[in-house]
Structure formats: structure tokens, C-alpha cells
């Protein structure tokens, strides 16, 4: 009798646990199509080494206008180690490297076997373009998932990206620049040179924003601004220190709340699911990040 009771208890326990998400995977009914006002276009602009701690003092009028008119935080956290590849790949995959089939931090080809935001766009037969400065980022997605174009941090490359948007009106545009990381390593984070570079980068956002306006798709576009990691005055980046892990995140445009500060905690893993929700794409069960439903009107 005892054995029978124990058997029934075990069966009940297993059935009760059957629907519990494994590996802390968020249930994917949170894709938010019913909550978000879907945008037809999304433009992601990422700056390598752009620390959230440096935004308040920076001369970045375009960024600050988007913060005032959108939903944002200066205290999103990147994953460890606070270096480029694991964080760029996490940003576009919605999942940290160790949760992507055991991918190593430096395995730059492994994301091709894991669903990225580019793959989601492609699966809906929509166009994606990836402008990147760091050559390793070409491995973020396959050539079939997105067209890839190498650019540099500067006004002419930014204008070329803007011209592409005007001509092609892609559903998803991702643009990543190597600055201000290069300036931070050379002149230190928080230096005059670092802040001067932030001012230059703000102008690149303005150029791209004008391209979206000229394309006639501004009212149906959401802009997303963020970074891979931060840095500090003495230690550059790479450690579990606040200024190393603290990055900005800004959502601005169609269907986004105005003047809204997103409450913490926030993870870089949350960017891809939120972009997917904005574009009304289904979030893969393998993604561990959550869509930030609180940013939507």
C-alpha cells in the first residue's frame, strides 16, 4: 500500500512539473503581439564600449531627445566577461553563450547554429541588413539571414547606411560601430577624448535617423540604441565591475512610451526578445531573455 501511494505521488509530481520551463527559459507566450503595437521597421544602433555611466555628462542631444521621448535605462547589465564577442552575440541571440549549447565565449561561429534576431526576420520573409565595423561580427548570422556590409565609425559610412535604408526600407537594420571602445582603450573611459567621441557618435545617429525620415518610414519605425559593454577610467573593461557591465538601452518610436525609465534589473539578454516583440516575431523557446513589455504604450 505504501509503495502504491509513493508511486502515485511520484506520478503526480512528474505531471505537475512537466510544464515547468527548463533552464530558466521564459514561456514564449510572452511574445507580446497582443500588447505591442507592431512596427514595420526597426533600426538598431550599437556602440562598442558605450558605458551607461557616461551618458548624463555626454554631449549627445539626439540620444537625450530619444531618451526623453522614449523608454530607456542607463543601467542595463551586460554578461560576464564584460567583453565584446559574448555580449554582441548575446544581444542578437537573446541568450548567454553558456546557454547556447555550451558555446564558448570565444567561439565566434557557434551562433550560426542558434536562432538570432536575423533568423527570425528571415523566417517571416522580411529583409534584414547588418552593418558592422568589427570583422568578427560577420559570424553573428548566416549570409542567407542578412546582407552584411562592413563600415567604419564616421559620417560617410553612417550616410551610406542611411542611403541603404532610403533605397531598400529593410524591416530590420542593425548597425554596430567600434567606437567609443577604441578611444576608451587609447585615452581612457571618461576622458575628454572619450566624451568628444560620444558627441561624434550622436551625430551618426542623427544621420541615420534622417535617412529613416527620408525613406518615408519614420512613423512605422522603432529605434533601439545600446552597447556591448562599458568601461572605466583605470581598468578598461572585462571584469564584474559596475561601470564595466553598465550599458544604456533606449527604445524610441512607434508604440513606445515617452519619457519612461525602465525599472531594473535589466539584462542584455532582453534586447533581442524585445526587438522581436516590436516586429511581431515569435520568440524562440531557446531564448532566455524576456521582452520588456513595460515599455509599450
198 within a domain of the structure (yes/no): yes
**CA torsion through residues 16, 269, 219, 123, sign:** negative
Within-domain flag for 38: yes
- Domain assignment of residue 148, yes or no: yes
**Mind listing the pLDDT tens digit of every residue in the chain (297 residues)?**
333 333 332 333 232 333 333 333 344 566 555 555 689 999 999 999 999 999 999 999 999 999 999 999 999 999 999 999 999 999 999 999 988 865 544 555 545 678 999 999 999 999 999 999 999 999 999 999 999 999 999 999 999 999 999 999 999 999 999 999 999 999 999 999 999 999 999 999 999 999 999 999 999 999 999 999 999 988 789 999 999 999 999 999 999 999 999 999 999 999 999 999 999 999 999 999 999 999 999
- Does some domain include residue 112? yes
* Cis, bond preceding 58 (omega within 30 deg of 0): no
Q: For residue 129, tell me if it sits in a domain.
A: yes
Q: Domain with 205 in it: what CATH number? A: 3.40.720.10
Task: Give how many domains the chain has, as a whole number.
Answer: 1
Residue range of the domain that includes 249: 27-295
Task: Count Cβ atoms below 10 Å from residue 188 Cβ, excluding itself.
Answer: 17
Residue 21 lies in a domain: no
Taking a C-beta distance cutoff of 8 angstroms, is the pair 42, 171 a contact?
A: yes
CA-CA distance, 271 to 262, in Å (whole number)?
13
**Three-class secondary structure of residue 266 per DSSP:** coil
Q: Is residue 51 domain-resident?
A: yes
Within a domain: residue 22?
no
Amino acid at each position: 500500500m505504501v509503495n502504491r501511494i509513493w508511486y502515485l505521488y511520484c506520478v503526480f509530481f512528474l505531471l505537475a512539473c512537466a510544464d515547468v520551463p527548463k533552464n530558466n527559459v521564459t514561456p514564449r507566450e510572452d511574445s507580446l503581439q497582443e500588447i505591442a503595437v507592431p512596427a514595420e521597421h526597426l533600426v538598431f544602433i550599437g556602440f562598442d564600449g558605450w558605458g551607461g555611466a557616461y551618458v548624463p555628462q555626454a554631449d549627445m542631444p539626439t540620444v537625450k531627445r530619444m531618451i526623453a521621448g522614449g523608454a530607456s535605462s542607463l543601467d542595463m547589465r551586460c554578461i560576464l566577461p564584460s567583453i565584446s564577442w559574448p555580449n554582441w552575440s548575446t544581444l542578437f541571440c537573446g541568450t548567454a553563450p553558456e546557454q547556447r549549447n555550451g558555446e564558448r565565449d570565444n567561439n565566434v561561429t557557434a551562433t550560426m547554429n542558434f536562432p538570432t534576431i536575423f533568423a527570425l526576420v528571415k523566417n517571416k520573409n522580411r529583409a534584414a541588413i547588418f552593418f558592422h565595423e568589427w570583422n568578427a561580427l560577420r559570424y553573428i548570422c548566416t549570409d542567407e539571414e542578412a546582407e552584411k556590409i562592413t563600415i567604419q565609425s564616421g559620417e560617410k559610412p553612417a550616410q551610406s547606411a542611411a542611403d541603404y535604408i532610403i533605397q531598400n526600407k529593410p524591416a530590420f537594420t542593425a548597425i554596430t560601430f567600434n567606437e567609443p571602445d577604441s578611444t576608451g582603450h587609447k585615452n581612457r573611459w571618461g576622458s575628454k577624448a572619450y566624451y568628444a567621441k560620444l558627441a561624434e557618435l550622436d551625430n551618426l545617429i542623427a544621420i541615420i535617423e534622417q535617412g529613416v525620415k527620408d525613406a518615408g518610414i519614420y512613423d512605422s519605425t522603432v529605434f533601439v540604441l545600446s552597447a556591448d559593454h562599458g568601461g572605466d577610467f583605470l581598468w578598461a573593461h572585462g571584469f564584474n565591475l559596475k561601470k564595466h557591465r553598465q550599458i544604456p538601452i533606449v527604445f524610441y518610436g512607434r508604440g513606445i512610451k515617452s519619457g519612461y525609465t525602465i525599472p531594473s534589473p535589466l539584462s542584455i539578454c532582453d534586447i533581442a526578445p524585445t526587438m522581436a516583440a516590436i516586429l511581431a516575431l515569435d520568440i524562440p523557446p531557446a531564448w532566455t531573455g524576456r521582452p520588456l513589455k513595460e515599455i509599450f504604450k
